[in-house]
Structure 1
Amino acid sequence: MINNISADHKVYFLSDFHLGAPNADASLIREKKLVLFLDSIKNNAAGIFIVGDIFDFWFEYKKSVPKGYTRLLGKLAELSDAGIPIIVFTGNHDMWMSGYFESEMNITVYHEPKTFVWNNKKVLIGHGDGLGPGDQGYKFLKKVFTNPICKWLFSILHPDWGIGLANYFSRKSKEKTGLSDDHFLGADNEWLIVYSKEVLEKEHFDFFIFGHRHYPIDFPLTNNSRYINLGDWIKNFTYAEFDGTNIQLKKFES
């Protein structure tokens, strides 16, 4: 549980590591950089939010999980054991979390956006996939992927087949996306900005924090509400920092 933030502590937000992609060697470099970052904030972190797509693919079988990622998982366990609250939101690449993080590392996992209030600041946090207008194809696929029967059918595949198949489709998805995440698309075309504005018509939030987009954005929605996209840890190595009053988007330089 994260309570009000004291002057000497901060809440940190980061997302979209996609560990495992595009290959083991490149992924390991990013994983080591993530561990360095987490180590650098451990003395003043009031909480750490990882807002989706930690892995390029993750599926928790009944008796096994994908191998690898030992350095990151070990560091998260160390920080959690030290009493730092860690909250994970599932993304579109790792939506099949089902208890491993909770039982092994005492990490809270959310599958949908959630509201938090600290120091009288109201914050909506989520990965961001499937929100806002358009993308009906993905929204349909998400319902299929999260359907209990479909999850069970996938789980009976041998992990070598299941993970191999998932990695293949992940690569094809990236080829189709291309460079669309390399620049700001404009407020009318950034679907998470559109979504945030729609939410604001019904309920006030001081900050909206999302991942998924892979492009760091700090956009004023109104005079007292902002949309922040966390970028990624593939090209940008960006994160957000909340000091109890304000949220700043920063870049980790190691």
Structure 2
Amino acid sequence: MVKREVDIVVISDVHLGTYGCQARELLKYLKSIKPKILILNGDIIDIWQFSKSYFPEAHTKVLRRILKFVAEGIPVYYLTGNHDEMLRKFADFNLGSFQLLNKVLLNIDGKKAWIFHGDIFDVTMQHSKWLAKLGAVGYDTLILINSMVNWCLRLLGRPKMSFSQKVKARFKDAVKFINHFEQTAADLAVDKGYDYVICGHIHHAEIREIKGEDRDGSVLYLNSGDWVESLTALEYQNNTWSIYKYQPDDFKTEAEDDDKTDSEDLDAKMNVLDLLERFKQETN
């Protein structure tokens, strides 16, 4: 397969280790591209809900593919989110082309980009973390039920549906939260004089110019969406940002899997799972 060359790729909210994670689709996407920079903008591994009893091979292959980028010398920035917040104690860790950070500032073709996950704007996260974790479990259960319903719909030849997107669209508070999140990020970016502010967290892919509220100036706000329902990423190429949306038809002829699984890979997998289990225990 000829890989697409992309200057910058931003993905977030993958939630590896949960039933809702669309790891197979993400793996196909990662295999199809050759980025010059890869930014993992939080909630890549869902350590909140991590269980050694559920971490499929496809999820491990996503991690292996990311490590392959690192081995090839491609700069990979892993920015921490709320579901992998225990990694924040290791922020500023560097290993070759891999960097673990809470946020990053990049100069992109002469423009300043401020990139971070965005959970800092979530009041629930700041004051009622137990409630946020409970909501995460409920969301994952909703996604699981939704996947079973969609399986039945496919058998009947009917289009898929998204429960959570219907819930978000129905409740004004959800729309209000998204708008407030975007405006807050934009206001802070305008104050700091940035050209781009790039977030994740709210599972809502977006690119739009936002004017500062009660302040002069504007900023290009970008959000990479998620790999649970939206299956989206941000791509930067030829001085232009765009939202990539996964389409199954683009991958009808899948390349042979070059991530061979042998005994060494399986041992490495178990070590990763043991490490994630320790992270989870330390935060409970």
Same fold at TM > 0.5 = yes
In the alignment, what sits opposite 2:33?
41
Q: 1:201 to 1:46 in 2, by over 3 A?
A: closer
In the alignment, what sits opposite 2:9?
12
TM-score, normalised to structure 1, is: 0.68
In the alignment, what sits opposite 1:77?
67
Deviation string 1:104-126 (CA, Å, 9 cap, x unpaired) is 88521112x33211210111111
Deviation string 1:67-99 (CA, Å, 9 cap, x unpaired) is 653211111111110111111111111111255
Q: 1:14 to 1:189 in 2, by over 3 A?
A: closer
Count, aligned residues: 210
In the alignment, what sits opposite 2:117?
127
Give, in whole Å, the separation in 1 of the partners of 2:90 and 2:177: 38
Q: 1:87 to 1:20 in 2, by over 3 A?
A: same
SS of 2:30's equivalent?
helix
Q: Percent identity?
A: 22
SS of 1:249's equivalent?
strand
Q: 1:19 to 1:71 in 2, by over 3 A?
A: same
Q: 1:201 to 1:208 in 2, by over 3 A?
A: closer
1:231 aligns with 2:225: yes
Q: 1:86 to 1:58 in 2, by over 3 A?
A: farther
Q: Is the 8 A contact 2:236 2:242 kept in 1?
A: yes
Q: How far did residue 197 of structure 1 move?
A: 3.1
Q: How far did residue 191 of structure 1 move?
A: 2.6
Any gaps of 5 or more consecutive residues in structure 1?
1-7, 146-165
* 1:129-208 equivalence runs, <5 A: 129-131=119-121, 135-141=122-128, 170-172=136-138, 179=165, 181=168, 190-208=179-197
Q: 1:75 to 1:100 in 2, by over 3 A?
A: farther
Q: Is the 8 A contact 2:186 2:219 kept in 1?
A: no
Q: How far did residue 57 of structure 1 move?
A: 2.1
Q: Alignment RMSD, CA only?
A: 3.7
Q: How far did residue 188 of structure 1 move?
A: 8.1
In the alignment, what sits opposite 1:211?
200
1:108 aligns with 2:102: no
Q: How far did residue 167 of structure 1 move?
A: 7.9
